[in-house]
Amino acid sequence: MKFLRLFTKGFFLIVNVVTVLFFLLACLAPFISPVRFWPISFITLGFPFLLVVLLLFLIFWIIFHPKYALIPLVALVIGWKSVSAFFSLRWPTNWETSNKPEGTINVMSYNVALFGLYAKKNSKPTREAMFDLIRLQQPDVLCLQDFYTSEKSDDFNNREDLSRVMKLPYRFFSSDFNRNGTQHWGSIIYSKFPIILSDKVKLSPGPMGESLIFADILRNNDTIRIVNMHLESYRFNAKDYQSIEKIKKQEDTGLVAAKGIVVKMRDAYVRRSRQANIVADFIRTSPHPVIVCGDFNDTPASYTYFTIKGNLQDAFLKKGSGIGRTFTGLSPTLRIDYIFIDRSFTINGFRTVHSDLSDHYPVIANVSIP
């Protein structure tokens, strides 16, 4: 019996130590660019699960062997920077975007997935439902990623229609890729306030490389720089998602498929880290206070998140609650869409709208400008 007890304690200690090592490696991700060491980015994907296991070990040791509770406790303290970025302990609020205090603005960020252009044979109902959803949020500043518009007579001119329907007359569109000069893809900023300067900064080379876009808006006598971006995705196709299902089911063919998926993920991590450096430099040199929106395609434990956030406020952490999931695929823990706010501004409210119209949830923040 004594041997069994010692064996069990030793087994749990070894598992705990291994978990701590992987957890601390994940916590190093904000400081190590994937360009230098890309495998660390894969570990960050497991960060929420490592965190849960550590918390379970903490409870376990407190109950059975209190002195060993120091192992997970010290790890959590060391990794607090990453832990505190992952979830918000605030009590859920009932803040509604229609409840906008006087003198404040609503800022909304949404990956609209091309308004269902390729996902469905008839994308019109999806497009109309998205328009309705956006209208209900009453945004004063609207940042959209994965945006599609067309000037063809039998297609949708989303660029013009959104301006009219949402009563957001000012806009800047990146048009990162176009077909025959009539169909356009990219990111866009809409504003209720005049745009006095706008431009784009290329984040990736090539004709299909996306851009960071910015618009300096004039609100009363204040100039605010709005930044919007869509960072490198994994570019998974239907075949890749089938491969992921095979891996989940532990099929033999899934092992072969995994190699191609890992390569795509590795390349995306490296490209995103380079893009994050460009974005961070751009924000740092801004002559005006910034509001940053975007689909980063990376989690709060990543190099991308911490590099871009810098000294800005994460609107979710200030006024959101829970883990703040914004992506509906792959994992229930993925928060990859963000609104970062200059520290001179006050964040009054934040909410995530759970809608299945896109594979991303829109996020909205209410902001006071001093």
Rounded Cα distance between 75 and 78, Å, is 5
Task: Catalogue the E-assigned strands of the chain.
Answer: 104-111, 141-150, 170-173, 177-179, 183-191, 195-202, 211-219, 222-230, 290-295, 313-314, 337-341, 346-352, 363-368
Task: State which of 52, 86, 120 marks the end of a domain.
Answer: 86
- 91 domain residue, yes or no: no
For every residue of 304-350, DSSP letters joined together read HHHHHHTTSEEHHHHH--BT---B-SS-TT---EEEEE-TTSEEEEE
- 276 domain residue, yes or no: yes
Same domain, 207 and 331: yes
Same domain, 124 and 240: yes
Other CB atoms within 10 Å distance of the CB of residue 275: 27
Same domain, 184 and 310: yes
Answer yes or no: are the C-beta atoms of 229 and 307 closer than 8 Å.
no
Same domain, 111 and 82: no
- 193 domain residue, yes or no: yes
- 6 domain residue, yes or no: yes
List Cα–Cα distances, 201 to 213, 248, 279, in angstroms.
Answer: 6, 39, 9
- 95 domain residue, yes or no: no
Answer yes or no: are the C-beta atoms of 106 and 97 closer than 8 Å.
yes
Same domain, 62 and 170: no
| pTM for this entry | 0.91
Same domain, 58 and 126: no
Report the number of distinct structural domains present in the chain.
2
Same domain, 40 and 113: no
Helix axes 238-248, 252-284, angle to 10 degrees: 120
Identify the CATH number of the domain in which residue 169 sits: 3.60.10.10
Question: Three-state SS for 18?
Answer: helix
**Domain, as residue range, for 277:** 104-368
Same domain, 330 and 196: yes
Rounded Cα distance between 109 and 152, Å, is 27
Q: Give, for all 370 residues of the chain, the pLDDT tens digit.
A: 666 666 677 888 999 999 999 999 999 999 999 999 999 998 998 999 999 999 999 999 999 889 999 999 999 999 999 999 998 888 877 778 877 888 899 999 999 999 988 766 678 899 999 999 999 999 999 999 999 999 988 889 999 999 999 999 999 999 988 888 889 999 999 999 999 999 999 998 776 678 999 999 999 889 999 999 999 987 766 665 565 655 555 555 555 667 778 888 899 999 999 999 999 999 999 999 999 999 999 999 999 999 999 999 999 999 999 999 999 876 667 899 999 999 999 999 999 999 999 999 999 999 999 8
Rounded Cα distance between 262 and 249, Å, is 17
Same domain, 54 and 180: no
- 263 domain residue, yes or no: yes
Structure tokens at 125: 């109902």
Nearest of 193, 163, 188 to residue 173 by alpha carbon = 188
Same domain, 81 and 111: no
- 144 domain residue, yes or no: yes
Same domain, 165 and 21: no
Same domain, 47 and 181: no
- 48 domain residue, yes or no: yes
Q: Which residues of 27-50 are buried (b: 16+ CB within 10 A; e: fewer)?
A: bebbeebbeeebebbebbbbbbeb
